[in-house]
Structure 1
């Protein structure tokens, strides 16, 4: 890997058969020359050039050292497709899955080398990833493995609501088993640390219960009594402004009204459904607990509309804007 000068952002193009290349190009087209100079795109050059043409933007992709000498051009870390002919628009393939993996792997290496400040990822396809033999649950698990950490946390953030998850891409049965004192406490800490870094103040955190009505005193389950309440108490003793558990059917409403800055959700759909309901196009996915910083769009590869020139890049715009906020924070 050739050493390059540090840049704020490293943007991966995701699955090349999906909408990733298109939304990346649309976002790049809106950037100023200064913003482009602080960005590194990681992916297949020919795919990006094709996406730029599709979207009607005259984008000039150059090797990083060339881009440094040519203002307005875009630096690219060219990761050629493993087998170009095998990658078909809007179709799952191991070649596309491998391409998406290689881009993220390169981005992680650049971030660990302090050559990019924040990784911004376009969507990948889990079926394609698995077909390539990369059996991750998505970006979050992949990033944890590539950076050598035991686990990480998924935070979804938007203007009206933010939520961080105790568990994400596991079955509902497994999610109930992951709601342990240790994991809930780690999630509270990770959310508190991130919000302090980004906002400059201590956040008001609420922890959702796992069971209906927080278990009704053990009638519907004891996770609140045995794990969640003690984790909240420990976090509060450590100086974190946190309350809970609060029933999942009210806590998100209260947060959206401004009572809390962050909700700790116990499982994937508990957190995803409310935030996507009220901020589907502007929610940003943030990975916490890693030695690198990363934001992402909060949608998939949209194979049904891929390479038709109609993909909306608003979510990518939001992910990039949030990443720029994170470049100003330590760590």
Structure 2
């Protein structure tokens, strides 16, 4: 029997667009056709944004996932208690907001590990805010790795034909260069290959970006490409992977956008994020606002499913009612797709 998966969705930073896009996503009827969504956070935060923006829904506060009703128009909120909203201002970084966002993430991880939810989706957090609250993590990925005791993991970004995984993410550029190692590249490759299969992607050809300009140009612009990346690609080919590289990044990503590769391995955060966001983020010159913000972030290697929007807190438009929920819709649907095999 087919059973719709239960998806836990965190509110993100309460001073951000996170609560807004979470509620807006659940205004889409097809989400309820796809899964059973449960919002995780402080119910008062969601009620505040609903009233402020006249979103026309009434929440169902619950303290146990089993009490969720999954009724369109009455979003279920797993309530983490009252929060002093007078201490939180839209668009401002605060320890209070950071702590609330962190506790929602920690709770959804616990619910997933317990089996109360089948997959998790995270709203945007502010890294400075959670650190000011005393939670010393550089981002969601590391929070998940810590609380699931995961050692081998990687960030995968998806937007239509562009699928990018990273050898390193939240470290300095200087550190990122030192992390380009053969074994790590092979580790990330295995995660990517399995992740593509789990998502139902049939094109398993993988492109590997070079680290240096022109992929090092035979050692003229650095040796990492010849000494670490090329040997990893060669070993992967011997293992049976359909893989090319190292390829200069300026060439690789233009080919990836056409669907030539099923997935791409980037060597560091910005190398993968910049072409990805150019693909998924669309600015309306006429409206002077983002028309569409698409893209899903998936953490591979975890014992639980985690997807996320791949954009930030957008403090500059928080509370204004103009935030796009496109990425949240895609993240929820991706989480449902990843978990659906558990019930088929």
Shorter-chain TM-score bucket reads over 0.9
- Is contact 1:6–1:114 with CA below 8 Å preserved after alignment? no
Task: Report how many aligned residue pairs link the two structures.
Answer: 327
- Is contact 1:208–1:264 with CA below 8 Å preserved after alignment? yes
Give the TM-score of the pair, scaled to structure 2. 0.89
- Tell whether 2:337 aligns with 1:325: yes
Q: Distance in 2 between matches of 1:159 and 1:149?
A: 28
- Is contact 1:181–1:231 with CA below 8 Å preserved after alignment? yes
Q: Distance in 2 between matches of 1:272 and 1:91?
A: 25
- Tell whether 2:266 aligns with 1:268: no
- Is contact 1:22–1:55 with CA below 8 Å preserved after alignment? no
**Shift of residue 269 of structure 1?**
0.9
Give a deviation string over 1:42-90, Cα, whole Å, max 9, x none.
0000111122222422133231444339776332211125544322221
- Is contact 1:11–1:120 with CA below 8 Å preserved after alignment? yes
Q: Distance in 1 between matches of 2:106 and 2:89?
A: 22
Query: What pairs up with 1:21-170 in 2 under 5 angstroms?
Result: 21-31=19-29, 34-35=32-33, 38-53=36-51, 54-63=53-62, 64-68=65-69, 73-80=74-81, 83-170=84-171
* Secondary structure of the structure 2 residue equivalent to 1:15: coil
* Secondary structure of the structure 1 residue equivalent to 2:128: helix
Give the TM-score of the pair, scaled to structure 1. 0.92
Residue number in structure 2 paired with 1:285? 297
* Secondary structure of the structure 2 residue equivalent to 1:167: coil
- Is contact 1:16–1:99 with CA below 8 Å preserved after alignment? yes
Over the residues paired in the alignment, what is the CA RMSD in angstroms? 2.2
Q: Distance in 1 between matches of 2:82 and 2:185?
A: 40
- Which of 16, 19, 26 lines up with 2:17 in the alignment? 19
**Shift of residue 282 of structure 1?**
1.4
**Shift of residue 316 of structure 1?**
1.1
Rate the CA distance shift 1:248–1:71 in 2: closer, same or farther, 3 A.
Answer: closer
Residue number in structure 2 paired with 1:217? 218
**Shift of residue 236 of structure 1?**
2.0
Q: Distance in 1 between matches of 2:21 and 2:309?
A: 10
Rate the CA distance shift 1:159–1:36 in 2: closer, same or farther, 3 A.
Answer: closer
Rate the CA distance shift 1:246–1:71 in 2: closer, same or farther, 3 A.
Answer: closer
Gaps of 5+ in 2: 282-292
Q: Distance in 2 between matches of 1:237 and 1:81?
A: 57
Residue number in structure 2 paired with 1:301? 313
**Shift of residue 116 of structure 1?**
1.3
**Shift of residue 121 of structure 1?**
0.7
Rate the CA distance shift 1:249–1:38 in 2: closer, same or farther, 3 A.
Answer: same
